[in-house]
Homo-oligomer: A and B are copies of this chain.
């Protein structure tokens, strides 16, 4: 029951299309873990798989976590206009395949995206004819962020310093986002992100 028959004619809580939930935050904030758990709980959310030229990390699966592409393949996506946005981050390129987002939203399904900060802001400015909800995720402290990047074991100390410097720049953009999720404990962060999704589906007026 949606209560639609109850409402004044000509408008609804949500239009025909879905909502795009864009989750971003510094590398090491734990976005993938939180998103993965939410996707298991909410069958109405469709994950937008990004394309990247960065190397695959242990446990990552092509087509599920990312489309891992060569530089030439990534060039092809750009040239054919198949990316909604793309950005470079630490020497690798990351992009959002347009079809992963637009086609799914047009079918009335909600889309969840995991993108880096500049990518999130680019999607917000892309002028999609669907609501775009911007969520910024941070760890509880800088020490915890450094510890999480170290625990990943894929970074040299020099690369770690570079990531932290990038993170300091990224958090300056927090005021441009709608929501802030602090990922201290996974369960609590999932609960907060889930609440944002449920609440936004009930939203009448939007910023």
Interface of A with B (CB < 8 Å)? Answer: 1-3, 5-8, 11, 13, 136, 138-142, 171-172, 174-182, 184, 191-192, 194-200, 202-207
Contact = CB atoms under 8 A, between A and B. Distances in A.
13 contacts: A1-B141, A1-B182, A3-B140, A3-B180, A3-B184, A5-B141, A6-B138, A8-B171, A175-B205, A176-B205, A177-B205, A178-B205, A179-B204
Contacts of A184: 1, 3
Given A195-B195, A198-B191, A204-B177, A182 B140 contact: no
Contacts of A197: 195
Contacts of A203: 178-179
Chain A interface helix/strand/loop/mixed: mixed
Oligomer copy total: 2
B175 A11 contact: yes
Contacts of A182: 1-3, 6
Contacts of A1: 140-141, 182, 184
A140 B13 CA distance: 14
A175 B8 CA distance: 9
Contacts of A141: 1, 3, 5-6
Contact of A179 (B171, B191, B196, B202): B202
A197 B191 CA distance: 12
Contacts of A207: 205-207
Most chain B CB atoms below 10 A, which of A13, A136, A179, A195: A195
A156 to B, nearest CB: 24
